[in-house]
């Protein structure tokens, strides 16, 4: 039997090339490898932690579904579903909450960063975000989770909760492993010490940006001192990030790119990169513009995917309830 693989993305805004190269492109490659039974979902319950306006959330759910399909996820090959349509995600989260420990959740970098950002108004959902993620993964007997490396800590909590539950109640959950790409952390265009992040739109190139927007953003991207196109994460973090992006898009090695741009300045390199980004996502933009007009098709894909996913999830929750004495 094929191993189960699951991952989700939050519908919290447009996807950037970090989400794409850290996660979405890998989803498509893993799906097409034929080696896994794949589940990909719209993490709309997680998105609620940002308190979105209802209209925006609804539109973002459709947008992300169109992103999934336009980049090559195929409902005939993968189960594509909407987290909130399967209520047992929330039910298992509650059960796992009772074995999760506050001090271990307090260590989560994402929570600490967001808590700083929102100060007194930080919500409880942000705090137990990793427990919901654990429920998402453990409900499906998942072996592999393709994610960017910003999610490693959360996945570690998932593994901890699986182990703890198994120890207390007997073997129930599989301990999942992460699958990373060669670019597990794309950095911000304006601060290469930080990851590219949807909540900082000026740090991102979005995958449905027009060629004009791509041009403006890459021209504005910070560079390092000196003028050489040379990969050195420590001394030249900005140009190294742009080289990694270029390499992911073109399939050329960093070494080949350094040779190609030897003796050229940042401006020549950036102009070339602008063309490469715009061309790479041209088909995606075309596909998405068609898909996004067909709302009913998008909702119907989510509905039928969610029906399929819920069959597996419902079985698991029954097993869990028996183990803990609720059934």
Site for ligand AQP in 141-200 (CB under 6 A): 147-148, 150-151, 184-186, 195-199
Select from 6-14, 132-140, 264-272, 311-319 the region that touches ligand AQP (CB under 6 A).
6-14
C-alpha distances in angstroms, 32 versus 180, 207, 252, 301, 321? 16, 21, 22, 19, 35
Q: How far is the C-alpha of 162 from the C-alpha of 176, rounded, in Å? A: 9
217 among known catalytic residues: no
* Catalytic annotation, pick one of 143, 198, 236, 270: 198
Among 6, 9, 298, 309, binds ligand AQP (CB under 6 A): 9
Residue nearest to ligand AQP (CB): 22
Question: 24 or 313: whose CB is closer to ligand AQP?
Answer: 24
Handedness of CA 295, 36, 184, 159 (dihedral sign): positive
Question: 12 or 37: whose CB is closer to ligand AQP?
Answer: 12
198 among known catalytic residues: yes
322 among known catalytic residues: no
109 binds ligand AQP (CB under 6 A): no
Q: How far is the C-alpha of 87 from the C-alpha of 236, rounded, in Å? A: 47
- Binding letters toward ligand AQP, positions 11-40, x by CB under 6 A: -x-----xx--xx-----------------
Q: Give one DSSP letter per residue of 99-160, joined into a string.
A: TS-HHHHHT-HHHHHHHHHHGGG--HHHHTHHHHHHHHHHTTT-SEEE--GGGHHHHHHHHH
Q: How big is the CA angle at 158 (ends 57 and 4), to the nearest 5 degrees?
A: 80
In this structure, what are the phi and psi dihedrals at residue 242, rounded to the nearest 5 degrees?
-65, -35
State in angstroms the smallest separation of the CB of 227 from ligand AQP.
26
State in angstroms the smallest separation of the CB of 31 from ligand AQP.
15
Q: At what angle do helices 295-324 and 54-70 cross, to 10 degrees?
A: 100
Residues noted as catalytic? 114, 195, 198
The residues of the shown chain that bind ligand AQP, judged by CB under 6 A, are 9-10, 12, 18-19, 22-23, 43, 147-148, 150-151, 184-186, 195-199
């Amino acid at each position: 039997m094929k191993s189960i693989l699951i991952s989700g993305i939050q519908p919290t805004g447009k996807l950037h090339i970090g989400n794409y190269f850290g996660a979405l492109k890998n989803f498509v490659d893993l799906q097409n490898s034929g080696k896994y039974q794949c589940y990909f979902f719209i993490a709309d319950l997680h998105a609620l932690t940002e308190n979105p306006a209802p209209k925006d959330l609804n539109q973002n759910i459709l947008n992300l579904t169109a992103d999934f399909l336009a980049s090559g996820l195929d409902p005939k090959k993968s189960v594509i579903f909407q987290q909130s349509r399967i209520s047992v995600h929330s039910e298992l989260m509650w059960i796992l909450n009772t074995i999760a420990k506050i001090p271990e959740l307090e260590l989560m970098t994402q929570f600490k960063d967001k808590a700083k950002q929102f100060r007194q108004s930080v919500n409880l959902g942000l705090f137990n975000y990793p427990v919901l993620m654990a429920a998402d993964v453990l409900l499906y007997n998942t072996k592999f989770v393709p994610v960017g490396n910003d999610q490693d800590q959360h996945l570690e909590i998932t593994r901890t909760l699986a182990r703890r539950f198994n120890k207390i109640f007997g073997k129930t959950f599989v301990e999942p492993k992460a699958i990373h790409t060669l670019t597990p952390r794309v950095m911000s265009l304006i601060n290469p010490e930080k990851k590219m992040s949807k909540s900082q739109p000026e740090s991102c190139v979005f995958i449905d940006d027009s060629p004009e927007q791509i041009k403006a953003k890459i021209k504005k991207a910070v560079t390092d001192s000196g003028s050489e196109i040379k990969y050195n994460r420590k001394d030249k973090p900005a140009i190294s990030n742009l080289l990694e992006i270029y390499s992911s898009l073109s399939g050329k090695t960093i070494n080949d790119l350094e040779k190609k741009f030897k003796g050229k300045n940042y401006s020549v390199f950036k102009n070339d990169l602008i063309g490469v980004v715009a061309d790479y996502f041209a088909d995606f933009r075309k596909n998405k513009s068609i898909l996004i007009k067909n709302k009913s098709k998008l909702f119907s894909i989510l509905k039928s995917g969610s029906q399929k996913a819920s069959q597996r999830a419902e079985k698991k929750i029954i097993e869990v309830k028996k183990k803990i004495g609720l059934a």
